[in-house]
Each structure stands twice: as C-alpha cells, then as structure tokens.
Amino acid sequence: MSFRTEPPYTHGSLPKTAVVLVNLGTPDAPTTSAVRRYLKQFLSDPRVVEIPRAIWWFILHLIILPFRSGQSAKKYASIWSNEGSPLKVHTEKQARLLKGYLGDRGHKVKVVYAMRYGQPALPDVLRELKADGCERILILPAYPQYSGTTTASIFDAVFSHYAQERNVPELRFVKHYHDHDAYIRALCKSVQAHWDMAGRPDKLVMSFHGVPKRTLTLGDPYHCECHKTARLLAHELELTSDQYMVTFQSRFGKAEWLQPYTAPTLKKLAQEGIGRVDVICPGFTSDCLETLEEIAMEARHDFMSAGGKDFNYIACLNEDDAWIKAMAEITELHLVGWPTIVSPAQHEEQVHEAQVSLDEAQRLGAQQ
C-alpha cells in the first residue's frame, strides 16, 4: 500500500489544534447539474442507503438522478440566498463565531468547517490542516442526535482519509449532544423568543429528519435520542404531553420510516380543529432545504389547505448567540487534556523548546 506524500516537516514549529465543524453538505448551485453531482455523492454512500450496491446503482443512475435532480434544483432555487446555500452560509458563520468564543475563553485553536458531501470537502479540509501543522483534530458534527446515516458517515470519511496517511494526527470525535444542557437551553430560548412575540400555539410540533424504521430495530439510537431531546425541551418549556408532539420528515422511497410522518400529521391536526401549530426542527442546527422549503413552505401549505388557521415555523439555531455559546461548551468538553490554553510563560517555554529543536536539526544537518 502506498501512502500520500507528507508535507515538508519544519523543525521548530509548534503543533496546532483544530476543530472541524462538519455538516451534511449542499449543491454548489441551484442547478440541475450541480444538484445531480451532489445527490450522486450523497446517495452513493452505503451509510445513507443500505441496499445491495448492484441493485441500488441501477435505481440511482436510471431513475433517481435523471428525474429527481431537476425537481430538487427548483426547490433549492426557492430558498437560495444572495450569499449562496443557506446551509453553507450558516455553517461558515457558525465556525467563525465558534473560533471567536473559544478565543475569548483562552483557547488557541483553529476552527474550520467542512461538508460530508459537496464543498468544502472534508478530505480537502483535513489535508489543509495537516499542511498547516495541526497535530490534534476534533471532529464536531453538526448533528445533535447520532445516527449511523449521518454522524457515522462523517467518522467513516475521516478514517478513510487517514488510512492513506503515514503521519496520522491525534483525533477526537463528538458523537452526539442531543441532551447537552446548553443545547437544550438554546432551543428553549429560541422557542420562547418566538412565543414572546407571537403567543403560544395550540400545538408545538418537533419535526426531526426521518430515517428508515429498520435502522431502529437494527440498533441505531437516533429515534431514542430525538425523543429525549423533545422531552428535555418540553420540560424546559414547561409543556404537558398533550401540548407538543414529535414527528419525522423527509421520507424517501417506499420503505417504512420512523413515524409519525410530519406532513400527514399536520394535515390531521388541522382536520381535528387545531387552529395554530408552531413547528421547530431541533435536529437541524442550520436552516436548509429541509427546513426552509419542506417545512416553512410545503408543510405550511399542507396544514393551511387542510383547514388550519395559523402556521409558524421557528427557525433553526443558526448563529443565535446561545447556540454559539453551547457549541463552545460542547467543544471545550472534548478539548480537555489538550494544551489549547497556554499561559504567556508556557508559550515562551514552548517557543524556546522549538528553537532548541530547530538549532539541533540545523547542527545535525551541517554535520552531514
């Protein structure tokens, strides 16, 4: 097996620590060709679709990509901003703000963002970090609830990348934070701020991204973690069990997915006389196609068409200050033991040791 060529090693350089915020990804543009490239990469991941590869290849290339790409492109166009894809814009801003918060708390770390599918590609970002001298890397998925279809796919990509590296950095991974106090508080603050302006709804619907039901029976903890997030948020908001409910959206294909499904549930609520619903998507930390188009547009239409009177979508956490602080707390928890906080005296000692290393390397070089 051959390994990638390592970047030139510079004696006397101080090792760096990096945090990589990784989100799912997005097309480069709201066009059929860009969406097709994105869907091909996304839906080719065996973590995402657990169907025998040969069968799935024909379904993907002969049915899904030719017909779904154009339809999806129109949906992306409906939510695209002047800055670009909302998911990418929010993720980039979150990484920048997280770096600022960690810096204010005394941490000397590099914070960047990457996408599992699309750009900036995770392997490219990891190569850039190595070239920059980062020897300690923390992977922070943008998914609060763990799933083999999302979080594990990020881990796969990291392991696959470093399987081809000779000099592997020290690695840490954040598996989940679905029940982290700061995350729950940030969600609560977001909901409460909306209610302070618009009043409370008849029902709060917490819509999470769906996954096939078989993943639950095979041991994926996602379903349980979604419900725990919902229970904790409801408790923080002082809601009774009849004032909120959990649903799952974005069903794909004919197989049974986690239920209840969001769209049919909203229609049923309207038909039962529920006048106002507020919908929040706690599993998404950045607004994206699934929240801005599927929920704020399509789900709203479904509810109102079925007789509902008032529909409110509560935006994702995005760059909310409480969420950035929560991200900083979650990150700090996983940085423990790494020398990211260095006093002036410690820094001076490190610089001295680095200079000694450089001098020794130069002396040995002169002798050869």
Q: Annotated binding site for Fe(2+), which residues? A: 209, 290
List, as residue ranges, the binding site: 209, 290
Q: Give pairs for 216-220: CB < 8 Å, separation 24+.
A: 216/258, 220/147, 220/148, 220/149
CA pair distance 169, 162, nearest whole angstrom? 9
CA pair distance 260, 367, nearest whole angstrom? 73
CA pair distance 241, 231, nearest whole angstrom? 9
For 318, the token pair is 């995005």
Nearest to 293 by CA among 59, 30, 9, 23: 30
Angle subtended at Cα 211 by Cα 209 and Cα 217, rounded to the nearest 5 degrees: 135
For 339, the token pair is 């020398």
CA pair distance 204, 316, nearest whole angstrom? 15
